[in-house]
Structures are given as C-alpha cells and as structure tokens.
A = this chain, B = another copy of it.
Amino acid sequence: MRRDELRLILEQVRAGELDIEEAASRIAAEPVSDLGFAHLDHHRELRKDLPEVVYCESKPVGTVGPIARNLAERSTGNIILTRASEEVFREVAEFLPEAEYHPLARLIVVRREERVPVGKVVVVSGGTADIPVAEEAALVAELSGNRVQRLFDVGVAGVHRLLSHMEVFHHANVVVVVAGMEGALASLVGGLVACPVVAVPTSVGYGASFGGLAALLTMLNSCAPGVAVVNIDNGFGAGYLAHLINQAAARERT
C-alpha cells in the first residue's frame, strides 16, 4: 500500500464513506508491503529498470515455460532465465519464440527493450574453463543496461597477460573477477585497481579444490582491500551486484 492509497482511505473515513472497522482492516491487511514499501520508492525505481529474473535449476519440468509467459505478460522489460538447460530453453521457446539461448552462460534472454549502456563494468576471468560463469555475469550486467568489457583467460600463472591489458581498467566503476582453481586473480586485480572488485570463485578444478572451496577461501582472505565475494559459480549474483554499483556511479558521467 502506497502513501496515497493510505491517504485515500483516510479521506474516505473523514467523508464518512468508509466504516472505521473496515478501514482498520484494510490498513492491517497488508501492513508491510504497505509501509515497508512506502519507504522504498527509490528501491522500486531502480527495480523497475531491472530485467525480470527466473532461476531455473530446481524448477520441475513444465513449470518454467508458463512462468516466463506470465512474466512477459505482466511486464515490458527484459527477462533473464538463469541456469537453464537447452531442454528448458525449448520449453520456454514454445511460449516465447523470441527467446534467445546463450548455451555457454546457460542463460535464456527475452530481449524486449534496448537500453543505452552506461558506465563501465569489467569482467575478468582466470582460465577458459571459467568463461561460462564470467559470461553469465557479463550478460546479466549488459542486459541490465551497463557497458561491459571482457578480459578472459588472464590467470596469474602468466601475470603478463593481465598486466599488458591494464588499460581495460581505465574508468571502470567495478571489476568482476571470475576464477577457479586457486582463485588468486582476485587478489592480484584487487591490488591493481581502485574501484570495488566483486570476486566469483568457480568450481573449476579438481582434487583439493573441493568444488570451489579453495578459490572461495582465497578470495575471502584476499590481502588486497576492496574485494567482496559471492557464492561459488554465482555469475548472476556478481553481474547483478556490478550493475548496482555501476549504475550509481555512472549517473554522474552519463
């Protein structure tokens, strides 16, 4: 309930058009969405700029298609479906033939508006095997209206690969670092750039990588300040966070 809706109820009470008990009930009926969100105009403002997002992994067969169509009917913005298999894509495409599939990033995108990309997000990945997660982050950020620059396969085992591309980081508002195995790239980048770094450990590796735990711990213990970490393989989360940081910073310059 928005504040103007509340005012309307109060006016109806004053005008005797609305019973007091009824008014009290209406106000009590949705207490939080009402007042909680009245505080959050700025929040929703931002939110309506965001693509709609569906996490597909654990959804039962046959449910994602209808969900996607629903979203398409209720909103006019872009729609992203994450962790989508090709099978899910076929299911979605039946309902929304304009859907496109990014197999590497396992994303389904229903593109319905074109935004002028602003600011600058850099997405860096350690090895080629980390690219699916990196690409997921990059695409999510792009679809949310951010200018994204990719710098892939620049792991610390050959540090010159990163150092010879330092110009990529010029004027970046945020850098997303995606790395598996030992995940050291986040610390290295964190020591080289002045903007926030969002680090994404990946499950790439074997043996004592323990499914991404090694890279996760590396990034959490980064000796470079300015590095924050999201869950293992969480490319979507990193792209979304990069979007939030970049949008705020970009307003100034665009």
Contacts and interface: CB of A to CB of B under 8 A. Distances in A.
A194 B245 CA distance: 11
Interface residues of A, number: 113
Nearest to A234: B207
26 contacts: A14-B16, A27-B35, A31-B32, A32-B163, A32-B164, A35-B35, A35-B166, A39-B166, A40-B166, A42-B170, A127-B223, A157-B225, A159-B188, A159-B191, A182-B219, A182-B221, A183-B184, A188-B188, A203-B207, A207-B216, A207-B220, A207-B233, A208-B231, A215-B221, A249-B249, A252-B252
A52 to B, nearest CB: 12
A251 to B, nearest CB: 5
A220 B226 contact: no
A232 interface: yes
A74 interface: no
Interface of A: 3, 6-7, 10-11, 13-14, 16, 20-21, 23-24, 27-40, 42-47, 53, 57-60, 104, 126-129, 155-160, 163-164, 166-167, 169-171, 173, 181-184, 187-188, 190-196, 198, 201, 203-234, 236-237, 240-241, 244-245, 248-249, 251-252
Nearest to A179: B223
A20 B14 contact: yes
A181 B237 CA distance: 14
B223 A156 contact: yes
Contacts of A190: 157
Nearest to A6: B24
